[in-house]
Structure 1
C-alpha cells in the first residue's frame, strides 16, 4: 500500500492486509483526483482485502465512502455542542473503560486518553460542527462501522473509538502519525495523499495528540497530564 511512514513509532498488531484491484495505489498518487468508495472483506484466514470498486464478489462491503473531510467545516442539520464539563473528576471518570478498551484492542492506554482529550476534553455530550459525537467524537458513519449503537454512551464510545484506532494502526502498519491522522481526516484521505493529509487541522491535530500522548506516558497522574499546559 503506497502510504509513507512518517515516524519510528509503532502500534503494530498481527493483521494481514491485501489491496485488491489496485486502484488504491492510483488514488494515493493523484492527490487532485476524487476519492473513490473503498470496499473490504476479511477471508477465512483473517486476511483483509480491499478494492476501490465492486467486483461482483458479494463478500465485499463498503468500508470508506468516497468523500473527503478535508474541506468540511459544518454539516447541514447539525447542532454543535461544545465541551462544557469543567470538573477535574472527568479526567479519571472513565479510567476502567479506557483500560479495558486499550487492553482489548492492544492500543496504548495513553493514546486513547490523548485522543479523548483532544477530541472532546472528556465531555461525552460534545458534538462537533460536522456531527462527530461523544468522548472520542465518532462520526455517525464511523460509529455504525464500529458497531456503536449510542455514541453518547461513554463506554460504547470509548470501545468504538479504540477499535477504530486499532483498525487504523493495522491499516497503516503501526505508524503512529498516520494512525492519528487517519482518526482525524479519515483513512481514505491518508491513503489518497500517501501520508498525513495537507490539512492544517489534521497536521495540528497530529501534533496535539502526540503532545498529550507523551504527557500521559511521562506523568503518572492522568488528571495532571490532562490539564492544559
Structure 2
C-alpha cells in the first residue's frame, strides 16, 4: 500500500532493457529449473502472453521477475484465512495471496518505514476503516486487505492493473493521473510483480 517498501528478498529482479509501461503486456515462461520468469517485453521465443494490455507507451527499463517459490510456500500457511476472506469479499484467492506475498513476504509482523503493517501491509487509516483492532492478527489483516481489494475492484470496474496501483499508491494517486497507473517507480514495479504471481497461482490452481 502507499508508502511501504516492497521486500527486496521477495523477488529476484534482473534489470534488463525492456518496456515498462502504465499498461503493458506481461509475458511468462518456465525455464529448465522450473523457475517462472515474467517480463513486460520478451527477449526469448519461449515467452508467451499471460496478460494482454494496450500498447503505444514509452519504453523504459523494468525488471524481469523471478518468482521466489520459498516465499510462496511461506505464505501457504495462511491459505485457509485467504480462502475465507476471499470468499467473503468475492475476490479471487489467488489475487489476495499474490498481494500478500508481494506486500509482506508472508511475515505477519512486517512493518514498513511509513507505517504499513502486517501481512497485507495496511496503513493505519485503512485498518481503522475496516474495523481492525489488531493489525498484526493474520485473520483481521487478511480480511481487511481483501475487503479493500473488493472496494477498489468496484471503484475501478475490475481493472486489475488500476486496482493494484491504487492498493500500492492509493486511489487518490490513480485518480490524479486520470485513472491510470501513477508514474511512480515503486508502483510501476509493483503492479507487474503482483500480476505475475497472480497468474502463476491461477495456473497452479488449474493444474497448468
Task: Tell me the TM-score range normalised by the shorter chain.
Answer: 0.5 to 0.7
Which structure 2 residues correspond to residues 12-91 of structure 1 after superposition, within 5 A? 90-91=74-75
CA RMSD of aligned residues (A): 2.2
Residue of structure 2 aligned with 1:114, choices 66, 76, 98: 98
Question: Alignment partner of 2:164: what SS?
Answer: helix
Contact 2:108 2:118 in 1 (8 A): yes
Residue 91 of structure 1: how far off its partner (Å) = 2.4
For the residues of structure 2 that align with 1:220 and 1:163, how far apart are their CA atoms? 22
Runs of 4+ in 1 over 4 A off after TM superposition: 5-8, 86-89
Alignment match, 1:184: 168
Q: Does 1:218 align with 2:203?
A: yes
Residue 87 of structure 1: how far off its partner (Å) = 8.0
Give the gaps of 5 or more residues in structure 2.
1-21, 26-69
Question: Alignment partner of 2:75: what SS?
Answer: helix
Give the gaps of 5 or more residues in structure 1.
9-85, 222-229
For the residues of structure 2 that align with 1:122 and 1:89, how far apart are their CA atoms? 9
Contact 1:116 1:135 in 2 (8 A): yes
Alignment match, 1:203: 188
Once the two structures are superposed, residues 124-162 of structure 1 have per-residue CA deviations (whole angstroms, 9 ceiling, x without a partner) of 010011110000000011111111111100000000000
Question: Alignment partner of 2:119: what SS?
Answer: coil
For the residues of structure 1 that align with 2:94 and 2:119, how far apart are their CA atoms? 15
Which structure 2 residues correspond to residues 163-178 of structure 1 after superposition, within 5 A? 163-178=147-162
| TM value normalised by structure 1 | 0.58
Size of the aligned set, in residue pairs, is 140
For the residues of structure 1 that align with 2:189 and 2:196, how far apart are their CA atoms? 11
| TM value normalised by structure 2 | 0.63
Larger Rg: 1
Contact 1:6 1:178 in 2 (8 A): no
